[in-house]
């Protein structure tokens, strides 16, 4: 067994010195306790990141005042949930999430089909472009779209009026449609990443046999292809639906001005926009959300149990590509249009916005670079840039390291407690950023004085660590699952310790996945808003928070400048990821 | 009228010709097998007949209907060709039951419900899977999936049945049994079958005729006995087993009543007679093919085609023993009964059966 072949420095020497004697009892017990200590520390760390804020939430939802203050236990928070207004908000959230998931799924299937199954020109390049929106922080496009589709001065409305001579505005992003539209831009590439792989992995003979049975291409697509994909589609649907309920940026920017409230904005408002923050109500909502997500995850598990068809061939066949004739330029145009609308349009808006004195007044004599000067000379903004970069670099590295260790223990060892670790690492997945944010807010406030986390940059780092761990663990689990056990057994038989082995495996074999996960986590940190906005304080602002503050102060022009800089960073990282990593990893790892 | 006719068909992938000018006719009810090493273009040929791949040259006629004509740019899609096909992976749809899988072609054709019920049951009975009708497809073994695939391909009474290595995913024992059963079924239904395999044993035991392919071209078409005993070229001869090819010079040639020729050949220090499929001029070199199992051990060389030599190796294979014997005609492979076991290093005599010795032109390539 592998655990016997990992000698500790002391015990191993002892055992080695007494070859042929009875069992090396001291060596073994020393080893077990050392590992036990390590496991205990890991469980403690994960509990601090998950169970601790979770219990704070629970306490908060049942106690009339925030922790540490005199109050009483009651169910007022939940009682408030039972009002007609709160139920309306819940239904609204579900409605919006369904409203964006259904069209996104349709779009994603269509785009994935174009990319994986047709002879559309430049498919590989289009694939990169289509998935780009997924990597752009939503707050950027939210602000860009708020400028594009503003009913009074939005660029699109101005162009429309200029072109048609009409005097009304056709587009108003501050609406139900605006919220949904903004979410669709993100869910579509997210779903696309899943679905395109399913298309690619399908055994082409499953479709070809349908053609041989007399079914046309269309009939085959509806009756066989889609039906075979149903488990994967259901899975992505639920995933996307859950993400829709967690979404904060879209309803904040487009819903709030139109008095459309969803769960996340309701929580935010009840903390930030009430005379006295109503924590009890906010945490009760948080709990309701988590319960709902738990139900969804459970439903997903029930629906999919035993229904994931093995449609994948071992052969390196590529599924047959449909020849579209001249229609292939239509499909090309469709993909290009998607990219233009979701990326080019908002980025152009940021570009234009950054060079005119006032947003909405686009005349030649209004051209200026003063916003760039303002941004580059603002110490607050520079501090946010530094904070974000530091948090991104350190946060992504720590998160991936934690994910690598957790995944290693849960898939590659048979140690006791590995299931606990796995479950703990997965828990934040069901906590939306906003909910986890509140949990940490109190969790940090309740820490004894000598541990100054509350209101510092460490609070953000720990929150990002918790939020990123589920994905990091998943990416690394996938990476390890592909490696053969012999490699590490070989390494450990030759006397390497646990960390040496892990390090070697990581360096030699799993680093591409580690790097992919790192980039994903880094992007995740850069775009995070809902937890950051609750946990930042003066001095520890991050870019997304600064953007929001500038926006609230009406400085849309400076927002554009910062947005552009962030876009550059996104494109740079994405380019590096594709150029360098794509050669080593087949999937995009999302 | 032939059931399938391939007229000079080709398939190019860029500059590479996967199939290169293939001509082939299959008679109605015939079991025709495409045989060749992996990558020689068998699957591509079959897929062109099916319509899953477009031929870049030539014409395909099924029955009396042209289904594809590269020169005229005509191409009929697979669903309109009315052919049954069994895939190497079986391609049983995992989201349906056995019944639904088999009923699919009939549902596509909008047959009435009771007709579907009756025909599916009949097709499943044919392959002895009627008791599994309500099973979900993933709960089937490989052999069962293969049967369902055959039932699905037969249920709508296709004009031709196409099979791409249908036995290759089964284990060895099941393979022979399933092959024999399928052959019996095919004979009973009289359905024209085009079968692809790289397994020589399968090809010989199942087929009416075998088409030997190499590098996208046809080397020889003939009954299994023809292909095995009377190959036209060295490549075909060597495709089956490890034949001895002995270099000789032709001394005389006379035609026999059955259309074959009898040659008088001489090697180094020996001479004898053998058969050939064509006339040879005197004095030209010829390769004489001696299958190892047609050579027998004797007490002494008897003149004619017989040699003595030293046993260089001896391998026990159960049913037979494979010897390598060094003679003046070269090192000869001899398959003898397992009970004869001459010691390695001992001298033995070998006698060839003149009726089984077959001459090939020494110069013919491919
Ligand atoms: N879609 C394709 N693109 C390029 N080459 C192909 C394609 N399909 C088959 N080939 C090539 O054509 C040759 C014949 O393939 P195939 O008909 O599958 O061989 P077989 O079935 O005899 O093993 C092979 O060399 C294969 O690599
Ligand atoms: Mg093949």
Domain of B339, CATH number, reads 2.40.50.140
pLDDT at A361: 67
Average pLDDT, chain A: 82
Q: Do B7 and B50 reside in the same domain of the chain?
A: yes
- Nearest CB to A211 within list B79, B84, B138: B79
Q: Residue B47 sits in a domain of what CATH number?
A: 3.40.50.300
Tell me, yes or no, whether B288 lies in a domain.
Answer: yes
pLDDT at A316: 45
Q: Do B37 and B162 reside in the same domain of the chain?
A: yes
pLDDT tens digits, A187-220: 999 899 888 888 887 888 899 999 999 999 999 9
- pLDDT band at residue A427 using 50, 70 and 90 as cut-offs: confident
- pLDDT band at residue A10 using 50, 70 and 90 as cut-offs: very low
Q: For a ligand 1 pocket test, name from B9, B13, B22 the mutation site with the most ligand atoms within 8 angstroms of its C-beta.
A: B13
The answer, yes or no, to whether residue A457 has pLDDT greater than 80, is: yes
For a pLDDT cut of 70, what percent of chain B falls above it? 99
pLDDT at B259: 84
Q: B337 near B292, Cβ under 8 Å?
A: no
- Nearest CB to B87 within list A205, A219, A228: A205
* Average pLDDT of span A248-253: 92
pLDDT at B12: 93
Count of domains forming chain B = 2
H helices within A413-456, ranges in order?
418-426, 433-445
Average pLDDT, chain B: 91
Q: Report the C-alpha gap between B14 and A266 in whole angstroms.
A: 61
pLDDT tens digits, A517-543: 888 899 889 889 888 888 888 888 899
The answer, yes or no, to whether residue A491 has pLDDT greater than 50, is: yes
Q: Is the CB of B258 under 6 A from ligand 1?
A: no
Tokens of B110: 């909008």
Please name the residue of chain A whose CA is at the shortest distance from the CA of residue B149: A209
pLDDT at A81: 81
* Average pLDDT of span A290-315: 69
Q: Is the CB of B134 under 6 A from ligand 1?
A: no
Task: Compute, in angstroms, the gap from residue B11 CA to the centroid of ligand 1.
Answer: 10
B83 contacts A224? CB cut-off 8 A:
no
pLDDT at B152: 95
* Average pLDDT of span A345-374: 80
Tell me, yes or no, whether B324 lies in a domain.
Answer: yes
Q: Do B133 and B152 reside in the same domain of the chain?
A: yes
Say how many CA atoms lie within 13 Å of B283 toward its Cβ.
Answer: 0
User: Which ligand 1 atom is at minimum distance from the Cα of B47?
Assistant: 17
The answer, yes or no, to whether residue A392 has pLDDT greater than 90, is: yes
Q: B135 near B152, Cβ under 8 Å?
A: no
- Window 203-222 of A, Cβ < 8 Å to B: 203, 205-206, 208-217, 219
pLDDT at A586: 47
pLDDT at A555: 84
Least confidently predicted of A331-340, A448-457, A517-526, A568-577: A448-457
pLDDT at A423: 87
Query: How many residues are recorded in chain A?
Result: 590
A313 contacts B87? CB cut-off 8 A:
no
- pLDDT band at residue A24 using 50, 70 and 90 as cut-offs: very low
Nearest to A501 by CA among A367, A409, A402, A383: A409
SS3 A414: coil
pLDDT tens digits, A31-51: 567 778 888 889 999 999 999
Spell out a b/e string for A115-143, using b for 16 or more CB atoms within 10 Å of the CB, else e. Answer: bbbbebeebeebbebbbbbbbbbbbbbbb
Please name the residue of chain B whose CA is at the shortest distance from the CA of residue A231: B95
Least confidently predicted of A305-319, A564-578, B282-296: A305-319
Tell me, yes or no, whether B127 lies in a domain.
Answer: yes
Tell me, yes or no, whether B257 lies in a domain.
Answer: yes
pLDDT at A4: 36
Q: Which of B211, B234, B257 is the last residue of a domain?
A: B234
Q: B2 near B25, Cβ under 8 Å?
A: yes
- pLDDT band at residue B161 using 50, 70 and 90 as cut-offs: very high
Structure-derived torsion over alpha carbons of residues A471, A472, A478, A484, reported in degrees to the nearest 10: -160
- pLDDT band at residue B105 using 50, 70 and 90 as cut-offs: very high
pLDDT tens digits, B204-261: 999 999 999 999 999 999 999 999 999 999 999 988 888 999 999 999 998 988 888 9
Q: Do B337 and B193 reside in the same domain of the chain?
A: no
- Nearest CB to A215 within list B85, B108, B153: B108
Q: Report the C-alpha gap between B84 and B90 in whole angstroms.
A: 12
* Average pLDDT of span A8-22: 38
* Average pLDDT of span A225-229: 89
- pLDDT band at residue A11 using 50, 70 and 90 as cut-offs: very low
Tell me, yes or no, whether B120 lies in a domain.
Answer: yes
Q: Report the C-alpha gap between A66 and B260 in whole angstroms.
A: 105
- Nearest CB to B91 within list A206, A219, A309: A206
The answer, yes or no, to whether residue A311 has pLDDT greater than 60, is: no
pLDDT at B261: 92
Q: Which of B187, B212, B234 is the last residue of a domain?
A: B234
* Average pLDDT of span B52-62: 94
* Average pLDDT of span B21-31: 95
pLDDT at B366: 52
Q: Do B57 and B114 reside in the same domain of the chain?
A: yes
pLDDT at A14: 37
Q: Do B177 and B263 reside in the same domain of the chain?
A: no
Q: Which of B234, B260, B295 is the last residue of a domain?
A: B234
* Average pLDDT of span A91-103: 94
- pLDDT band at residue B364 using 50, 70 and 90 as cut-offs: low
* Average pLDDT of span A110-127: 91
Q: Is the CB of B42 under 6 A from ligand 1?
A: yes
pLDDT at A499: 72
Tell me, yes or no, whether B366 lies in a domain.
Answer: no
For a pLDDT cut of 90, what percent of chain A falls above it? 25
Q: B252: domain range?
A: 241-361
The residue ranges of every structural domain in chain A are 36-65+369-590, 79-367
Q: Report the C-alpha gap between A36 and B234 in whole angstroms.
A: 70
pLDDT at A589: 37
Nearest to A35 by CA among A25, A23, A47, A43: A43
Q: Do B221 and B263 reside in the same domain of the chain?
A: no
Q: Do B189 and B336 reside in the same domain of the chain?
A: no
Q: Is the CB of B41 under 6 A from ligand 1?
A: yes
Q: Class assignment of domain A79-367? A: mainly alpha
Q: Do B154 and B261 reside in the same domain of the chain?
A: no
Q: Do B71 and B197 reside in the same domain of the chain?
A: yes
- The dihedral of CA A375, A381, A387, A388: what is its sign? negative
| CATH number of A36-65+369-590, picked from 1.10.540.10, 1.10.3720.10, 3.40.640.10, 2.60.120.10 | 1.10.3720.10
Q: Residues of B with CB below 8 A from A205's CB? A: 87-89, 91
* Structure ipTM: 0.87
Task: Compute, in angstroms, the gap from residue B195 CA to the centroid of ligand 2.
Answer: 11
Q: B218 near B22, Cβ under 8 Å?
A: yes
Q: Report the C-alpha gap between A204 and A485 in whole angstroms.
A: 32
Task: Compute, in angstroms, the gap from residue B181 CA to the centroid of ligand 2.
Answer: 22
Q: Report the C-alpha gap between B363 and A150 in whole angstroms.
A: 85
- pLDDT band at residue A12 using 50, 70 and 90 as cut-offs: very low
Who has greater pLDDT, A228 or A332? A332
Q: Report the C-alpha gap between A254 and A528 in whole angstroms.
A: 18
Tell me, yes or no, whether B63 lies in a domain.
Answer: yes
Q: Report the C-alpha gap between A540 and A383 in whole angstroms.
A: 8
Q: Do B295 and B317 reside in the same domain of the chain?
A: yes
The backbone region for A455, taken as left when phi is positive above 0, alpha when psi lies in -120 to 50, beta otherwise, is left
Least confidently predicted of A164-173, A248-257, B34-43: A164-173
Q: Do B131 and B202 reside in the same domain of the chain?
A: yes
- pLDDT band at residue A22 using 50, 70 and 90 as cut-offs: very low
* Average pLDDT of span A386-409: 92
| Whole-number CA gyration radius for chain A | 26
DSSP state, A114? H
The answer, yes or no, to whether residue A7 has pLDDT greater than 60, is: no
pLDDT at A15: 37
């Amino acid at each position: 067994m592998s655990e016997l072949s990992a000698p500790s420095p002391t015990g191993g020497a002892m055992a080695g010195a007494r070859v042929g004697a009875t069992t090396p009892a001291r060596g073994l017990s020393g080893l077990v306790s050392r590992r036990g200590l390590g496991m205990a520390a890991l469980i403690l760390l994960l509990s601090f990141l998950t169970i601790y804020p979770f219990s704070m939430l629970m306490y908060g939802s049942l106690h009339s005042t925030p922790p540490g203050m005199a109050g009483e236990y009651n169910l007022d928070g939940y009682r408030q949930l039972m009002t007609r207004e709160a139920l309306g908000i819940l239904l609204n959230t579900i409605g919006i999430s369904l409203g964006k998931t259904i069209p996104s799924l349709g779009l994603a299937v269509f785009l994935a089909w174009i990319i994986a199954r047709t002879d559309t020109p430049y498919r590989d390049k289009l694939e990169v472009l289509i998935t780009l929106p997924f990597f752009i922080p939503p707050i950027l496009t939210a602000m860009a779209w708020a400028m594009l589709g503003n009913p009074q001065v939005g660029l699109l409305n101005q162009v429309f009026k200029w072109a048609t001579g009409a005097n009304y505005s056709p587009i108003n992003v501050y609406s139900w449609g605006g919220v949904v539209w903004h979410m669709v831009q993100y869910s579509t590439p997210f779903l696309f990443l899943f679905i395109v792989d399913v298309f690619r992995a399908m055994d082409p003979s499953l479709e070809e046999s349908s053609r041989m049975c007399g079914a046309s291409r269309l009939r085959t697509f509806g009756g066989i292809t889609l039906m075979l994909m149903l488990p994967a589609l259901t899975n992505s649907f639920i995933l996307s639906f859950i993400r829709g309920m967690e979404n904060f940026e879209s309803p904040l920017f487009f819903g709030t001005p139109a008095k459309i409230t969803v769960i996340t904005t309701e929580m935010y408002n009840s903390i930030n926009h009430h005379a006295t923050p109503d924590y009890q109500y906010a945490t009760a909502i948080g709990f309701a959300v988590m319960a709902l997500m738990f139900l969804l995850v459970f439903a997903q598990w029930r629906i999919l149990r035993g229904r994931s068809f093995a449609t994948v061939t071992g052969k390196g066949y590529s599924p047959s590509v449909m020849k579209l004739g001249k229609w292939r330029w239509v499909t090309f145009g469709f993909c290009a249009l998607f990219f233009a609308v979701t990326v080019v349009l908002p980025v152009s808006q940021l570009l234009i916005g950054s060079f005119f004195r006032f947003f909405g007044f686009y005349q030649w004599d209004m051209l200026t670079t003063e916003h760039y000067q303002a941004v580059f000379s603002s110490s607050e903004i520079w501090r946010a840039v530094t904070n974000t970069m530091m948090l991104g670099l350190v946060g992504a590295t720590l998160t991936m390291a934690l994910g690598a260790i957790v995944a290693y223990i849960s898939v590659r060892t048979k140690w006791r407690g590995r299931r606990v670790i796995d479950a703990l690492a997965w828990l934040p997945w069901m906590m939306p950023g906003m909910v986890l944010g509140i949990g940490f807010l109190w969790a940090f406030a309740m820490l004894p004085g000598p541990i100054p986390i509350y209101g510092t940059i460490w609070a953000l780092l720990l929150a990002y660590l918790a939020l990123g761990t589920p994905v990091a663990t998943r990416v690394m689990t996938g990476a390890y699952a592909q490696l053969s056990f012999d490699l590490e057994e070989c390494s450990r038989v030759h006397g390497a310790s646990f960390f040496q082995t892990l390090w070697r495996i990581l360096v030699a074999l799993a680093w591409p996945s580690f790097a992919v996960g790192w980039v994903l986590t880094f992007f995740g940190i850069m775009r995070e808003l809902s937890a950051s906005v609750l946990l930042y304080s003066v001095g520890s602002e991050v870019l997304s928070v600064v953007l929001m503050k500038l926006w609230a102060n009406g400085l849309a022009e400076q927002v554009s400048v910062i947005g552009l800089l962030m876009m550059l960073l996104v494109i740079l990282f994405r380019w590096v990821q594709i150029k360098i990593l794509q050669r080593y990893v087949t999937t995009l790892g999302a | 009228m032939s059931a399938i006719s391939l007229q000079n068909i080709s398939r190019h992938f860029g500059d590479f010709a996967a199939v290169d000018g293939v001509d082939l006719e299959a008679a109605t009810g015939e079991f025709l097998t495409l045989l060749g090493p992996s990558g020689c273009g068998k699957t591509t040929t079959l897929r062109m007949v099916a319509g899953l791949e477009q031929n870049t040259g030539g014409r395909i006629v099924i029955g009396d209907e042209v289904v594809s004509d590269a020169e005229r740019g005509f191409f009929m899609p697979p669903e309109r060709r009315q052919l049954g096909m069994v895939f190497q992976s079986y391609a049983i749809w995992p989201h349906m039951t056995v019944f639904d899988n088999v009923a699919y072609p009939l549902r596509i054709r909008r047959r009435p419900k009771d007709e579907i019920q009756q025909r599916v049951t009949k097709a499943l009975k044919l392959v002895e899977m009627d008791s599994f009708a309500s099973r979900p497809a993933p709960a089937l073994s490989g052999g069962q999936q293969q049967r369902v695939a055959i039932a699905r391909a037969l249920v709508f009474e296709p004009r031709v049945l196409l099979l791409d290595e249908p036995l290759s995913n089964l284990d060895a024992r099941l393979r022979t049994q399933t092959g024999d059963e399928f052959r019996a079924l095919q004979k009973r239904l009289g359905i024209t079958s085009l079968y692809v395999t790289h397994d020589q044993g399968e090809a010989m035991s199942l087929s009416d005729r075998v088409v030997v392919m190499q590098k996208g071209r046809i080397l020889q078409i003939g009954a299994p006995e023809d292909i095995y005993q009377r190959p036209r070229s060295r490549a075909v001869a060597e495709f089956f087993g490890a034949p001895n090819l002995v270099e000789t010079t032709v001394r005389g040639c006379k035609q026999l009543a059955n259309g074959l020729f009898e040659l008088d050949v001489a090697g180094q220090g020996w001479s004898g007679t053998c058969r050939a499929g064509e006339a040879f001029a005197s004095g030209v070199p010829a390769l004489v093919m001696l299958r190892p199992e047609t050579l027998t051990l004797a007490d002494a060389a008897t003149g004619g085609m017989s040699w003595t030599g030293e046993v260089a190796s001896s391998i026990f294979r159960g049913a037979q023993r494979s010897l390598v014997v060094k003679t003046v005609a070269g090192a000869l492979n001899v398959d003898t009964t397992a009970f004869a076991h001459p010691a390695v290093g001992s001298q033995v005599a070998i006698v060839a059966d003149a009726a089984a010795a077959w001459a090939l032109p020494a110069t013919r390539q491919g």
